[in-house]
Structure 1
Amino acid sequence: MEPFSFASSDSLNHPVSIRIINLEGEEAPLPFSAFFDHPELEQIGSNQSPHSDLYVTVQVWAGSKPLTVPVQTAYKSFRSERKWNEWLTLPVNYSTLPQNSRLAITVWDLSPTGGEGAQGHAIPFGGTSLPLFDNDNQLHKGRQKCHIYRHKQADGNDDSKTPAILGKKRTNPRRGAAMVEDREAEELERMEILFKKHEMGEIPRVDWLDQLVFRGFEKRGLQTTKSSIKAIQRQQAARNNASSLAKDGDRERDGDRKAGDAGSLPMPSNFLLNVELPRFDFPVVFADHEYPPPPISSLQHLSASQSNIVLKPPPEVQFGPGINGLDDADESYGGRLIRVYDPEVGARDNPAESKHRRLIRSRHRNGILDKDLKPNAKGRDELNLIMSYSPTHILSSEDKDLIWRFRYHLTGNKKALTKFVKSVNWQDQAESKQAVQVLGKWTDIDVDDALELLGPTFDNSSVRAFAVERLRKADDNELLLYLLQLVQGLKYEHISLQPGHEVAQDSSLARFLISRAVNSFILGNYFYWYVMVECDDKSQDQGQDTRVIYEKVAYDFMMELVKRPDGKETRKTLLRQAEWIKTLSSISGEIKESNDSIAKRTERVKHFLADPRNELVTIEPPLPLPLDPSVEIIGVVPEDTIVFKSSLHPIKVSFKTTSERKYSILFKTGDDLRQDQLVIQIITLMDNLLLKENLDLKLSPYKILATGTSAGLSQFVPSMSFQGIANKFRSNPALAYLKQNNPDSRGPLGLRKETLDTFVRSCAGYCVITYILGVGDRHLDNLLLAPDGHFFHADFGYILGRDPKPFAPAMKLSKEMVDCMGGSSSEHYRQFKQYCFLAYSALRKNSNLILNLFSLMVDANIPDIKLEPDKAVLKVKDRFHLELSEEDSIRHLESVMDDNLNALVPVVIDKLHEFVQAFRT
């Protein structure tokens, strides 16, 4: 076959347009006697002059319904011929057109008395309907001759009564004159096709020969027109009642209408409307928009809290002309139907596969021999491979069947439980019942697997209760590491929204968290504030039902506190914390909205804090700090207050503690700190995981607590940014800064050995962690260095690979950091790389725990997770490169570090950021 180049209509983002060229053709004038019987006919412009003023409207129809409003030609006065030669653009693109689209073109006449089908003073001169796609589904292009149906308005129905293109007529050989006329019409039609090919460049141009053909064709067309007019006049003269020509004229017009009402096709007149459609370099073939299947995560079984959402009723479908519904009395199932896209089809089970699964599992459901089944060598290898899958891996039907078959054998494997739960068809009551029985025989599982079972994809209450039983064995310190995610897990519990129902009766997780929170003040402190933030979230993403759930949890928590011996005092303490936060929020909001200078704002805050009426100078009894309840504050230190220059103007406030030390915090309003809070929590968890591997990287994650959706606290750590250090010291600024604070002439690089070791270790830890979390927008202003050598990051507004700057590096390893270690060829830098490799390997071993924590946060309204919640966990998983061996993953990490160290883009980004900040100040 010869190659055929074409374009698809769905990629043609160009508006539909048409050029109205001219109207050709004539008709015999009405006799004067017709005007005596019907004087209103004399008011119609076309009856007064063969070149009267007309205008044209064009409208796109599809499915027997209009798609656009009509577009009309401008006014034009005609003298010798009706010629508009005007392009009309319709408000719809070719890419959105259905296959049955057509142009309804109506030529309008004018009459002050109106008439049949009149719209104001306009009455239809004639109409025609032109399909936009031909029988081969190709878009029409170039010039088109459209048959005009006199006194008819164009209809755009699928079974149009005014088709622009007529089918070939069969001639009767007995009628010689008619046969001659049909042959003449066929010859003219053949010539029109050839003219169109000539115009499109398919026939080579020969100027002198083309002119001869054009003149000959024009004469032949005029002669054919005159012959058709004489034929019409002869037919009128041959009528039986020659005296009532006016009535015959009316009957001729009414006959078209009656024939149309009877369902027969009205005959076209000898008028033709010449139009032109856009030409394209290649044929345009119709292609419908193909909807992608929905993600599987969006069609998982909803938990009880999510299933309370009231679904909207299906839209009402109104059938237009030419479309029949099943309920129509006149139509049977042969009528046309509307096809509606159903997104659930993309994730619905295959009936054949479901039947196969039931048959296979019926043999292994209640069989006595199932408990003794053991896999052979090949089966063990397959099961071991399945057990190594990450939590995001989707099991195939074969994997599920294999797990179900050897379920009793796998009860001794703690890593197999989550895979077993995924292989169960929980909609099958018999299978679900036996699966719960098998759960009771399973060995103890790890915390990471228990957290996975509390995620959004597991809805069975028995499964979630099994996971909670595992969490009961965790101590308070370990539970605190996952508390933020466990509070989010309450969204997926079966908690009734009816008033009077206690959440402890509905949810094993809620009952567990409340019981542990009332027995530990530190746990209760964080639990209270985590829940309060969810109650404060009134965004559309949260939903009223979810807020009601957390309000019930908070109420039950307070009621359970009162039942404890010291619970009333604990409750008063939490309420005092809330009042303390409210007091700080009031002054922070005033300062943020103020137009004063920084100095005046600082003095205003100091005066506010020193005012005894605000009860901050002396706090009696001591108040546990919400940010760190192990610290009790007894009063504020107004003279240490600082208001920063940033857009939100955070306030640094220092407090005296019961240990006679100062504790400084940053209080900020107008910013959602939940994303920073999550990152700090993950860094704290990773630090604990590394310490369990005997790898101390001197991480010092500062504390952050969101007290609302637009307010929060963060710990103030005395430090200096790399940008500030670079402005103070010109040569090797980081090393000079550490030498100033920790000099030792006998130590490496003139530093105390402990200080340099702390710097190297903390740099390695934060480089690996920020790489895994995809922390973006890294520059010298949010890289901080403490005087004792602790390096850390701040400002986590961009995570999971997002970055406002193009070509940002995957890992932030600046030249200043490497120079402080003695350069890329020094022994300290090699030690730094070794720490990075050890940390990366240790965290890869705990990747399931980290991925499960992120899966519990997909509905937490975290900005960078909310953008693509179904991809958030996968973005973290990609940074672990679990498909690689440990050796290959270390090589990959080394290549990332080397590429970043030798790249020019990070240096340019830092310089640009420095210039921008200097310009702002």
Structure 2
Amino acid sequence: MKALSDFVKSGSQKMTADDLKLCIRQDSYLEALSDLLSPLNPSIILAEICADKCRFMDSKMKPLWLMYNPGAQEDMVGIIFKKGDDLRQDMLTLQMIQLMENLWKKEGLDLRYSGSSCLQQLLMLFNNERRSANLTPSRTHRMIPYGCLSTGNKMGLIEVVKNSDTIANIQRNSSNSAATAAFNKDALLNWLKSKNPEDKLDPAIEEFTLSCAGYCVATYVLGIGDRHNDNIMIRETGQLFHIDFGHFLGNFKRKLGINRERVPFILTYDFVHVIQQGRTNNSEKFERFREYCERAYKILCRNAMLFVNLFAMMKAAGLPELTSFKDIQYLKDSLALGKSEEEALKNFKVKFNEALRESWKTKVNWMMHSLAKDNRP
């Protein structure tokens, strides 16, 4: 896979997907890339690589998109090989999102174990996992912490989430111009309608609402940066999820000295349009979404020291954006460590309103990203 990645990058602008497929069809590559246990899920056998369905993505690192027939399993399995980014940071972020999901599922339990160490709390949390499975769907925030594995220095594998697409593609396919695509508030709702006809639409919107609430809180608390519309995806079932966590703990990207991300988290009016089922006067649905966000945030604040301690233990790993205790200060601030729950919630409400009020800045950022992508040679 590393050799394939180097081959793609060496071809620069002239390289095409057909060149990659031709390379994979060579006997040496077919033999090396077939009949493998998936490193992301050892219960899956990657029986036969499907060269015709393989490609490389058009992002900066040119990740490989490799598709497999998994033998006895029915559906094809996709893995992404990425070389050039430290995926350990992605792994840590995804593990924290999974931990948040577990905490939210147990919101009826008091997880502030007095006198327990951070590791003891973590063990208790995972030992109680089975009990959380009986909670009703309305009490969960449907997150998708997809598989991610660092396999070497700045390289690794990422799971392909099937039946999903990026916000950017959905917007682009519903508009004739990249300049206006990001401002089409009907694109997401119309896409969900096309994938979920009739009585399937309401459950899909509910999935969107819950997952959007979860990721609004998670990305704010962890300070996730680089949130353009190619880094946010939606499954056909309605679940929204974020990808690519190369920037966290408030390390937001800058362009020409200007902070490109000037909102606490992503909550655009087209997201609100879906949550309100396309009706501008459906404030009840939006207020319910706001309550989900506030409840999720309060639960994380009650467990602030768990997250702070876990990040502190990872400091010695040498992650690009987690090298000192100073880097963890963002987490302490976002979780309002040392403040009362009332003060913490008051601050979050300010951030929530700011994210909604300033969402037009997110749209401008998405438009610039789409234009830059379309103009890429």
TM-score by length of 1: 0.34
In 1, distance between residues paired with 2:38 and 2:98?
19
Q: Which residue of 2 aligns with 1:875?
A: 330
Q: Which aligned pairs between 1:810-829 and structure 2 lie closer than 5 A?
A: 810-822=264-276, 823=280, 826-829=283-286
Matched, 1:907 2:363: yes
> Superposition RMSD on alpha carbons, in Å?
2.1
Distance in 1 separating the partners of 2:297 and 2:151: 33
Greater helix content: 2
Cα 1:595–1:916, aligned 2, differ >3 Å: closer, same or farther?
closer
Counterpart contact for 2:30–2:49, Cα < 8 Å: no
- Aligned to 2:147, which of 700, 703, 715? 703
Structure 1 counterpart of 2:303: 846
% same residue: 31
Distance 1:585 1:907 in 2: 36
SS in 2 for 1:871: helix
Cα separation, 1, equivalents of 2:32 and 2:86? 28
Aligned-residue offset at 1:914: 3.0
The residue matched to 2:28 in structure 1 has which SS? helix
- Are 1:704 and 1:713, in contact at CA under 8 Å, matched by a contact in 2? yes
The reply to whether residue 672 of structure 1 matches residue 127 of structure 2 is no
Q: Distance in 2 between matches of 1:861 and 1:611?
A: 38
Q: Does 1:782 align with 2:228?
A: no
- Unaligned 5+ residue runs, structure 2? 108-134, 175-183
CA pair 824-666 structure 1, distance change in 2 beyond 3 A: farther
Distance 2:3 2:285 in 1: 49
Which of these two proteins has the greater Rg computed from alpha carbons? Answer: 1
Of 625, 635, 644, the residue aligned with 2:48 is 635
**1:900/1:906 contact within 8 Å kept:** no
1:889 Cα deviation (Å)?
2.0
Please give the alpha-carbon distance, in whole angstroms, between the structure 2 residues aligned to 1:824 and 1:771.
27
Amino acid aligned to 2:41: D
Shift of the alpha carbon at 1:870? 2.0
Structure 1 regions of 5+ residues with no counterpart? 1-583
- Deviation string 1:68-118 (CA, Å, 9 cap, x unpaired) is xxxxxxxxxxxxxxxxxxxxxxxxxxxxxxxxxxxxxxxxxxxxxxxxxxx
> Is contact 2:185–2:270 with CA below 8 Å preserved after alignment?
no
Is residue 24–residue 51 contact of structure 2 (8 Å, CA) maintained in 1? Answer: yes
Whether contact under 8 Å (2:83, 2:155) holds in the other structure is: yes
Structure 1 counterpart of 2:156, one-letter code: G
Name which of 637, 647, 656 aligns with 2:60: 647
Which residue of 1 is the match for residue 248 of structure 2? 799
3-state secondary structure, aligned to 1:859: helix
CA apart distance, 1:858: 0.8
- Structure 2: distance between partners of 1:721 and 1:828: 24
* SS of 2:78 mapped into structure 1: strand
1:143-182 residue CA offsets vs partner (Å, 9 max, x unmatched)? xxxxxxxxxxxxxxxxxxxxxxxxxxxxxxxxxxxxxxxx
- Whether the 8 Å CA contact 2:207–2:238 is kept in 1: the answer is yes
Change (3 A) 1:856 1:625: same
Residue 27 (structure 2) aligns with: 612
**In the alignment, residue 273 of structure 2 is paired with which amino acid?**
D
Counterpart secondary structure, 1:713: strand
Q: Residue in 1 aligned with 2:2?
A: 585
**Cα distance between partner residues in 1 of 2:81 and 2:187:** 30
Deviation at 1:885, TM superposition (A): 2.4
Contact 2:46/2:68, CA 8 A, preserved across alignment: yes
1:724 to 165, 169, 178: 169
1:369-413 deviation digits (Å, cap 9, x = unpaired): xxxxxxxxxxxxxxxxxxxxxxxxxxxxxxxxxxxxxxxxxxxxx
How far apart in 2 are the matches of 1:638 and 1:810?
A: 42
Q: Give the drift of 1:654.
A: 1.0
Q: What CA distance in whole angstroms lies between the structure 2 residues aligned with 1:871 and 1:618?
A: 43
Q: Say whether the 8 Å CA contact 1:813–1:901 is kept in structure 2.
A: yes
Q: Tell me the distance in 2 between the aligned counterparts of 1:594 and 1:886.
A: 55
SS in 2 for 1:659: coil
Give yes or no for the alignment of 1:753 onto 2:202. Answer: yes
Deviation at 1:685, TM superposition (A): 1.8
Cα deviation digits, residues 811-851 of structure 1 (max 9, x gap):
11122211111258522211211111121122222222211
Instruction: Give the Cα separation in 1 of the matches to 2:165 and 2:40.
Output: 22
Residue 419 of structure 1 corresponds to which residue in structure 2?
A: none
CA distance in 2 between counterparts of 1:685 and 1:649 reads: 30
**In the TM superposition, what whole-angstrom CA distance separates every residue of 1:707-727 from its partner, at most 9, and x where no partner exists?**
011211101123222222222
Q: 1:618 Cα shift? A: 8.0
8 Å contact from structure 1 (residues 609, 617) kept in 2:
no
Deviation track 1:614-638 (CA, whole Å, cap 9, x = no partner) reads 3548845xx3211222322222111
Secondary structure class of the residue paired with 2:252: coil
Q: Give 3-state SS (helix, strand or coil) of 2:228's partner.
A: coil
Secondary structure in 2 aligned to 1:852? helix
Counterpart mapping for 1:507-522 below 5 A = none
- Which structure 2 residues correspond to residues 19-418 of structure 1 after superposition, within 5 A? none
Partner of 2:321: 864
**Per the alignment, do residues 731 and 910 of structure 1 end up closer, same or farther by CA in structure 2, a change over 3 Å counting?**
closer
Give how far 1:733 is off: 0.9
For residues 67 and 214 of structure 2, the distance between their equivalents in structure 1, rounded to whole angstroms, comes to 29
Label 1:631 to 1:692 Cα distance change in 2 as closer, same or farther (>3 A): farther
Matching residue's letter, 1:850: F
Separation of aligned partners in 1, 2:74 and 2:369: 40
Once the two structures are TM-superposed, the CA of residue 681 in structure 1 deviates from its matched residue by 1.5
Q: 8 Å contact 2:104–2:299 — kept in the other structure? A: yes
Q: From the superposition, tell whether residues 616 and 762 of structure 1 become closer, same or farther in structure 2 (CA, over 3 Å).
A: farther
> d(CA) in 2 for partners of 1:687 and 1:778?
20
Deviation, 1:598, is 4.2
Letter in 2 for 1:606: K
| Letter of the structure 2 residue corresponding to residue 784 of structure 1 | M
The structural deviation recorded for 1:612 is: 3.1
**Which residue is 2:73 aligned to?**
659
Q: Displacement, 1:791?
A: 0.3
Higher RCO (Cα < 8 Å, 6 or more apart): 2
Give, in angstroms, the shift of residue 909 of structure 1. Answer: 2.4
